[in-house]
Structure 1
Amino acid sequence: MTWPEGYGRRILAEVDSTMAEAARLAPSLAGPEWIMARGQTAARGRRGRHWVMPEGNLAATLVMRVSEPPAIVALRSFVASLALFDAVAAVTGQAGGLALKWPNDVLLNGGKLAGILLESSGANLAIGIGVNLAFAPGAEEVEPGAVRPVSLMSETGVRVTPEEFLEYLAAAYAGREAQFTTFGFGPIRTAWLDRAARLGQPVVARTGRAETRGTFETVDDTGQLVLKTPKGRVRIPAADVYL
């Protein structure tokens, strides 16, 4: 696997979180850079939730400068999701059992394999990625009703180190990023929907105390989840989706 041209790489033994390290390094970077840590002491997921990071799993952040409006920048969650799908398929030699859960999870055999977190500050974007390569958190370590965690090793028998997986991921992301910047969100959206979990099936979207139940109809051209409900079509910009 060839490391993509123009992307930096920084491997750390331990850090509080790769997202925090990305924020510290961003002002001094000349170009996009992947930051990977073998251990994290203060990892976190979406909405500030604690992220469990056993040794042997991937914890990495891509930090890059962006110039598009925030709504366009946010669409890179779909770019990253597709890159993760591509990387896992390349490592295992098959795409069977893989699916993408809106807005930013990768599923394997119905369980959560990976998660993505986007944070932007000014012209800098950080894309944090966690992948259960070797171990999956126990059910007691995730919130009630959440998709059960799984690992690549337990589901496929494939053993890959975080450093090896990062090479596949970086190459896949570079390809999808080039597609996004050249052709826009259209081809990314089409490819994402082709891999979407529960498309055409009932889901529940929760935002704070609000809950919307409906059929997952599509993702629109702004990345919003579109549900078909008894009250009509509902567009949801951000939520936690329960299957």
Structure 2
Amino acid sequence: MPFALGARAAARGYGLVVFDQAGSTNIEALASARQGARAPCWFVTTEQTAGRGRRQRPWVAPRGNLASSVLEVLNVAPVVAATLGFAACLAIENALRQVSREAVLRSGGSSALDFAVKWPNDVLAGGRKIVGMLLEAEQVAGGLAVVAGIGTNVVAAPTDTPTPAVSLRDLGVEVSAEDLFSALSESWVEYFGIWNEGRGFADIRRLWLERAAGLGQPVAIRSGHAIIEGIFDTIDEQGCMLVRTAEGRLEPITAGDVHFGSVASKGAV
């Protein structure tokens, strides 16, 4: 089955560029914006060879996984564009719940999988990482080109990640990257609409917190050489994680590697 947009995404005028293999769908999307593309567009492949995650970590998608990037050219400030990452996490988490539920029903099962969003931009399945996301932005003529790169472990998961990873296949869910993408493109229309160029971030924040991993639990964040420990209290109106320290102070976190539970008690080592 070839890649195809969902009906709502096609009706909203989204483009679709499909690669048999790509170095990085984010790079392809940003290059398209630099060359004058202004309409929203998806860039997808089932095999990515030179993708990047946060902190320039490699994100390689072996054939059968889904590497996808959506380009939106917006008239918003970069600080507002940064909150779009939360809508992207909700979109892929919703798509995963949908396709996994359908796959379980087809197989005669009845139990739904447990997905959760992890600050700032991951999705977990049973506590293991199944999605990584990288949001990038660049000023172009006519606005800010924002690219949300979403990498999903469909048939295989890496073994050398700071957070243990898992694939849909590992979880007993047999779906194709193409089917997942169709669901994602539909879900993106919904959550991008709720986000509404940042004006709807209060609603996105509420929905994100309902699905958040580790909320109210011990957490340790490594940022550079510093480690901040406490309780994951909430996220604020800009999307920063707020950690309540042992002294009762709310510490805003803008970036870092997040560890929950027993790992947190060991100082995020």
Q: Establish whether TM, by shorter chain, passes 0.5.
A: yes
Counterpart CA distance in 2 for 1:56 and 1:3 is 25
Return closer, same or farther for 1:192/1:221 CA change in 2, 3 Å cut-off.
same
CA contact (8 A) 1:31 1:65 kept: yes
Listed as ranges, the matches of 1:1-243 within 5 Å are 1-4=6-9, 5-27=12-34, 28-93=36-101, 96-122=113-139, 123-138=144-159, 141-142=160-161, 146-155=162-171, 157-181=172-196, 184-231=200-247, 232-243=249-260
Task: Name the amino acid aligned to 1:119.
Answer: E
Question: Which portions of structure 1, spanning 4 or more consecutive aligned residues, are displaced by more than 4 angstroms?
Answer: none
Deviation at 1:19, TM superposition (A): 1.0
Q: Secondary structure in 2 aligned to 1:43?
A: strand
Counterpart CA distance in 2 for 1:173 and 1:240 is 26
Counterpart CA distance in 2 for 1:38 and 1:71 is 31
Q: After the TM superposition, which of the residue ranges 21-30 and 170-179 deviates more from structure 2?
A: 21-30
TM-align CA RMSD: 1.4
Deviation at 1:191, TM superposition (A): 0.4
Deviation at 1:45, TM superposition (A): 0.8
Counterpart CA distance in 2 for 1:45 and 1:202 is 25
Deviation at 1:41, TM superposition (A): 2.3
CA contact (8 A) 2:46 2:61 kept: no
Identity %: 38
Return closer, same or farther for 1:95/1:125 CA change in 2, 3 Å cut-off.
farther
Return closer, same or farther for 1:175/1:154 CA change in 2, 3 Å cut-off.
same
Return closer, same or farther for 1:193/1:210 CA change in 2, 3 Å cut-off.
same
Task: Name the amino acid aligned to 1:107.
Answer: L
CA contact (8 A) 1:57 1:133 kept: yes
Counterpart CA distance in 2 for 1:187 and 1:22 is 28
Q: How many residues align?
A: 237
Deviation at 1:147, TM superposition (A): 1.7
Query: Which protein shows a greater Rg?
Result: 2
The TM-score normalised by the length of structure 2 is 0.85
Counterpart CA distance in 1 for 2:22 and 2:154 is 19
Structure 1's unaligned 5+ residue stretches are none
Q: Secondary structure in 1 aligned to 2:215?
A: coil
Deviation at 1:97, TM superposition (A): 1.0
CA contact (8 A) 1:79 1:177 kept: yes
Deviation at 1:3, TM superposition (A): 4.7
CA contact (8 A) 1:3 1:167 kept: no
Deviation sequence 1:116-145 (CA, Å, 0-9, x none): 10110011011111000111112xx22xxx
The TM-score normalised by the length of structure 1 is 0.93
Task: Name the amino acid aligned to 2:73.
Answer: R
